């Protein structure tokens, strides 16, 4: 598939709409649109290697109508059916060492927090009350509608961030995996109507661009606003084990601050929230 083509089996109108959405997006410098590949993130990684780590790849988007080996975090699977999801990876070149330590910190924070925040913003544009489940799951009605896989890679002294995003758009319940770590849903299920995927993609790419332009202070303020965990009792799985406490805020380093009166305060950077209780008290779920 050459740059700028869309899969031949897409309906003519949808194919044109995808082309227009991708060609007009500020966040995208070039794109590859596939019918089916194992994983857009794996394909993006290979592209970086094949291009010997060229900075020109910044803004390249790899999108596929289906994936045969879609990945979540920790090599979990991300399931999809052809033509019903949005599945893409955006390549970002990290200009390490060029700016100040402050710039690098802000890049790290943006890489970690922008995708989920941008998805929430895009879904709000279509009147959905989307919330962020730290770090990057997007929930509607407390069901997971989208997942984000942010990966770093180096090639020839250049570093890149691969932002992989999977959104359940037009699946009906039977199209979704039956057993998931968090209950799954699609935008079609929550809205009751089939959505225009190219238009949604356009909305998401615009939202990504705006969020990457945010200052760190605004980014943190917005993430704290959109995170559905804050003030609730959570159980968190971290590299240091599982523990519970009240999720207080997202800190200046992008970590989730969890307080349990019986423990030192925790700043969770690598972890996953396993359970959330509605109140700040574990005994009243
Ligand atoms: C994620 O991982 O949620 C990140 C998913 C990122 C997928 C995109 S698609 C484009 C790009 N290319 C890739 O290969 N990946 C990225 P995690 O938080 O680890 O969640 C994975 C878990 O979500 C699985 O173990 C299942 O329990 C559940 N799951 C799998 N498919 C799902 C789906 N379609 N909807 C909701 N939950 C799902």
Q: What is the pLDDT of residue 138?
A: 97
Is the CB of 81 inside a 6 Å radius of any atom of ligand 1? no
Task: Give 273 Cα–ligand 1 centroid separation in angstroms.
Answer: 15
| Segment 245-259, tens digit of pLDDT | 999 999 999 999 999
pLDDT at 280 over 80: no
pLDDT score, position 277: 86
Q: Report whether 157 contacts 53 (CB < 8 A).
A: yes
Structure confidence at residue 240 (pLDDT): 85
CA distance 130 to 149: 18
| Structure confidence at residue 1 (pLDDT) | 45
Please choose from 46, 69, 71, 147 the residue to mutate so as to test ligand 1's pocket, defined by most ligand atoms within 8 A of CB.
147
> Mean of the per-residue pLDDT values for the chain?
92
Nearest to 71 by CA among 30, 107, 113, 41: 41
């Amino acid at each position: 598939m050459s740059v700028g083509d869309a899969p031949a089996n897409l309906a003519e109108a949808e194919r044109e709409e995808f082309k227009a959405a991708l060609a007009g997006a500020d966040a995208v410098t070039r794109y590859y649109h596939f019918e089916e590949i194992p994983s857009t993130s794996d394909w993006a990684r290979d592209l970086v290697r094949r291009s010997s780590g060229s900075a020109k790849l910044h803004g390249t988007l790899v999108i596929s109508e289906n994936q045969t080996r879609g990945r979540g975090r920790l090599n979990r699977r991300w399931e999809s059916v052809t033509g019903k999801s949005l599945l893409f990876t955006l390549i970002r070149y990290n200009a390490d060492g060029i700016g100040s330590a402050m710039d690098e910190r802000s890049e790290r924070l943006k890489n970690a927090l922008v995708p989920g925040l941008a998805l929430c913003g895009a879904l709000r544009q279509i009147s959905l009350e989307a919330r962020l489940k730290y770090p990057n799951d997007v929930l509607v009605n407390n069901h997971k509608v989208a997942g984000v896989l942010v990966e770093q890679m180096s090639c020839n002294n250049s570093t890149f961030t691969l932002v992989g995003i999977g959104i359940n758009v037009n699946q009906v319940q039977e199209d979704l995996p039956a057993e998931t770590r968090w209950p799954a849903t699609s935008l079609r299920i929550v809205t009751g109507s089939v959505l225009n995927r190219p238009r949604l993609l356009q909305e998401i790419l615009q939202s990504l661009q705006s969020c990457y332009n945010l200052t760190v202070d605004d980014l943190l303020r917005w993430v704290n606003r959109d995170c559905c965990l804050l003030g609730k009792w959570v159980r968190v799985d971290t590299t240091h084990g599982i523990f519970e406490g009240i999720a207080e805020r997202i800190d200046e380093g992008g970590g989730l601050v969890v307080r349990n009166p019986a423990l030192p305060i925790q700043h969770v950077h690598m972890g996953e929230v396993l359970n959330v209780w509605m109140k700040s008290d574990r005994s009243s779920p």
